Structure 1
């Protein structure tokens, strides 16, 4: 079957439905049951069609599982648990996915289904009688919807490009195409188109305070933030088809300036800020509410308890809860064993980002081994859902204000040849929050171009761990191969207890402790009775050799001793075992999709 026709049919067959907890989101009418003109003959019906576009972001094949939890592994922060299989998520995580891997199939089609739905809105909103002859208020509302549709289409294309590189570009509904056998379009052409579209959208979509909507819909700041992120990707490196090398896009300075301007506008708007508590950005996502500072600028909303419109965030990933506990969750994403030690001892982000504890069968808190820590920003026990349920209605933080600050600083540094005072201050805001209560330990921010860039590279590692950004950051900086090699060396040093890991304890000792889910991540960890030698501060136990024998009444858990050569080099279990520079920076396209379009090529050595 022709690929675009298949996408169009899928788009029509999938009924539009509510995708988020926001009460003013309506059940949307399926366009297949009415003609296009009827679907856009009122603001209510147009909004219903727009909800159908938003609907394609979430679910198992979107930002409910695969796009945000499977595809971003492994960088130098997290990886998928379990043994290698080229035909499942573990093949993706180890850079060894086969073209027959079914996890590559439906996300690709879902993104194009979203593009098809967005194209219908983008085509028909300007043709609507409401848009042409309606009231000023109705026309403004239709402009708002048009801007959101442009933004959603840009987001879908960005997700396609960052995972598959050059892809077919379709900017009209499938029914308007002369031929549905579309070849690939160079990604820079697509980037330029969607960057221009987002400039238009930013003029049409209001600021948060003017919109009266939740952060699960695009506001002006979200549009501008997405435009900045895409501009940095356009300015940076990506794996090209011919020749097959990592290369920068042309005219990078133009796109750094776009990112700079957009982030500056958001900063100056006063619409968003940093919460004083790092954790405060993530707890509300478990309740479908917004944080007090509006730090989460855009979240992918999850709702409905099903695979199409909900998420497995907090069940598949997040802190592990034993199957027999009140909250069964798998903890399917593990922190790379060295990631814990990328954080400073006083960095409050560490104990939230890297969950070094888990919940046992009797709902008690225990320590994890050094290789089985999980991503901790998402926790099933922070929801009201118990039992075996997998869909938890946890929203996904696609864009946070701290990202705006760090993107601004990065672009400023590139434009000026060194960071301005404003760029240094932007980074300092992020850093100071991480060291709240211990600002004297926050360190000094470099002010030369190279030093500042490297500082941002590391700061983004600490700030966004588990949020699906790291691998794509490293790719646009052309640092993925470098950081994988560095991480493999660090893992070897950890295994041998050498270098910076010379004093890492082989074992930790603890007593099973009550778990209070209302406590912060740091407080919950501190509540575990960990053995601390006399005269030693508890914060130092991760940075000093363990005592020789298990203290009376305590349980021993392998910390550094859990690291083995298998973790690094085994074909089934090794970290990033199948990565190849200038090839595996991108995923293969699922083979049936290739076969459905004779103009579509696989490329990149697959």
Structure 2
């Protein structure tokens, strides 16, 4: 029998189309021959579900892409605390732009991501070759059309994330041939791949249903995500990126590396890409079911609860993780749970790493009434002394580059998660979905594109009825209580045309921190280096001179183990410190150890090659490529 996909079907019970018990009664993809796959949609579905299962691995979207590879930026850092951390051969070095080609996770990521692409290629080819597709009246026609749309969209997402991480990569849009003739490929210019992805996503968007239709949830690629991903890729294509060689006709960023220039397409091409992005963002806003949850807090409560939002559909697509099986959201990122006895009395296994952290200048940048600040930034830990003593919340002290990301928080997680964690003796998959794109991102991309094409206040060619300022207003005002809406609206209305882009840059930070977006925004805008330096300068010149040396606060009357967040005096020493029962060192206190941070954060970005924001190919990827692949950018 001719084998077309040598892999074992992984059944995680989170894919949503078919139950695990149904999977067990069917053939694995390694047992399916060409004719079976083309004739029977259920077999194509098995390969597609295996493709989705590949997204849950630590080496793909369980950890690497959303967490390990998405820092550093001006607001997000990896938890490097010692001098040697900044140049080590693992994630801390890589996040600080000092990566090592011997870091095994590079090889594992590459292999795992291309395995997903292989699965997508099999699904797409099988649908195209199926006789069912010649008859639109066939009852399975739409099913196969949807499968192809999903595979095109997931393949585009994976290719896009590989390009963001490694730059130019091999272009492989067909299954591996039996003779292996298309197995060893050289790199293709990323813009050639981008053009193909944009075309594929046009096809996918036309083929797929909206979330909530035909049984499709946001754990599947749907029409909205295909449109949104197309816009995201178009904006990256239009933006800056470091190149292996200079491209004729492209604009070179001032101060660029002489050997490996950072470039973007010319003005005409950028306008074409902005218009393309606008077309697809406009469709989402005008025709889609997606809207903002009126409560930013509730949006993140639902995510922590592992509850799909079938009311607002704010999440356009989320990688589905299984409790006890996969997902490091809440563990590698989130409020730090630090139990000395390993198991905390309140929350069970309590040694979360919380490696993705935020900065004091980012915290300081929020409007004091912005509700997102305390839902995003945690300047505290949950401490457990032993398994019999209730945990207590404790302020972090003078650690301006080690704020935890509060969007993921054990105190918001489900009873099902808590039961698992109380019985755990080691880390288990938290099962919280990785949200790839939210509707607020769509609105902010729309605001950015409208401003670029027409300015902040013109409708231009948009059909949804919103100006760029309207879209920005919707996101910004959601973050404020009713009593503060007048001031929130006044802020947005007061932004001049000249300052509107900068306002979008700020809003995307406040809204999307910790969500693997900021680093890639700064890269495409050509602002990664300057914004990183601005953050460090703001710490030295703004935060440190103005922040109190001690932070005063109280614990809650109804729960003396929890901080009364409304009592915390973040911005100044109170006139009567006796009104507060608790205090902690804070950012205004002198600390010579902080020089380690200010001198070494993102230290590799311009050290060897200017703006070297990409990771190298792993050593095994190079050695296994039969001479087809090599590293560049001074690696």
TM-score normalised by the chain length of structure 2: 0.84
Alignment of 1:467-506 (within 5 A): 467-493=515-541, 499=542, 501-506=544-549
Match of residue 593, structure 1, among 607, 611, 621: 621
Shift of 1:513: 4.8
Aligned to 1:313: 329
> Quick one: distance in 2 between partners of 1:145 and 1:107?
25
* 2:281 aligned with 1:253: no
Aligned to 1:12: 6
Aligned to 1:347: 370
Match of residue 144, structure 1, among 143, 146, 165: 146
Shift of 1:25: 5.2
CA displacement, residues 190-214 of structure 1 (integer Å, 9 cap, x when unaligned) = 0000100000011100112423221
* 2:453 aligned with 1:453: no
CA RMSD of aligned residues (A): 2.7
The number of residues matched between the two structures is 573
Distance 1:29 1:157, change over 3 A: farther
Alignment of 1:516-595 (within 5 A): 528-529=563-564, 538=567, 541-545=569-573, 551=578, 554-561=581-588, 564-569=591-596, 574-580=600-606, 582-595=610-623
Match of residue 382, structure 1, among 412, 416, 419: 412
Alignment of 1:198-237 (within 5 A): 198-237=201-240
Shift of 1:75: 0.3
CA displacement, residues 18-60 of structure 1 (integer Å, 9 cap, x when unaligned) = 3626363553853222223323432222211111111122221
> Quick one: distance in 1 between partners of 2:19 and 2:591?
50
**8 Å CA contact 2:15, 2:49 repeated in 1:** no
TM-score normalised by the chain length of structure 1: 0.88
Match of residue 268, structure 1, among 283, 286, 308: 286
Aligned to 2:312: 293
Gaps of 5+ in 2: 247-259, 385-389, 460-466
> Quick one: distance in 1 between partners of 2:479 and 2:210?
28
Shift of 1:279: 1.8
Shift of 1:505: 1.1
Alignment of 1:386-401 (within 5 A): 386-387=421-422, 388=424, 389-401=427-439
Aligned to 1:79: 77
Match of residue 428, structure 1, among 442, 457, 473: 473
Aligned to 2:242: 239
**8 Å CA contact 2:244, 2:632 repeated in 1:** yes
CA displacement, residues 505-555 of structure 1 (integer Å, 9 cap, x when unaligned) = 111134555898xxxxxxx99x6247xxxxxx947x21113679x749834
> Quick one: distance in 1 between partners of 2:443 and 2:476?
11
Shift of 1:561: 4.6
**8 Å CA contact 1:18, 1:55 repeated in 2:** yes
Aligned to 2:254: none
> Quick one: distance in 2 between partners of 1:81 and 1:278?
26
Aligned to 1:4: none
> Quick one: distance in 2 between partners of 1:119 and 1:24?
21
**8 Å CA contact 1:78, 1:333 repeated in 2:** yes
Match of residue 31, structure 2, among 25, 30, 33: 33
Distance 1:220 1:603, change over 3 A: same
Distance 1:182 1:336, change over 3 A: same
Distance 1:49 1:10, change over 3 A: closer
> Quick one: distance in 1 between partners of 2:109 and 2:557?
40
Q: Which runs of 4+ in 1 moved over 4 A?
A: 445-449, 511-516, 550-553
Match of residue 508, structure 1, among 551, 559, 562: 551
Distance 1:399 1:588, change over 3 A: same
Aligned to 1:364: 392
Aligned to 1:533: none
> Quick one: distance in 2 between partners of 1:30 and 1:87?
38
Shift of 1:242: 0.6
> Quick one: distance in 2 between partners of 1:121 and 1:333?
35
CA displacement, residues 472-508 of structure 1 (integer Å, 9 cap, x when unaligned) = 0000001001111111212222xxxxx4653311111
Shifted more, 24-33 versus 85-94: the winner is 24-33
> Quick one: distance in 2 between partners of 1:271 and 1:311?
27
> Quick one: distance in 2 between partners of 1:43 and 1:147?
14
> Quick one: distance in 2 between partners of 1:72 and 1:441?
33
Aligned to 2:387: none
**8 Å CA contact 2:224, 2:288 repeated in 1:** no
Aligned to 2:356: 333
**8 Å CA contact 1:273, 1:293 repeated in 2:** yes
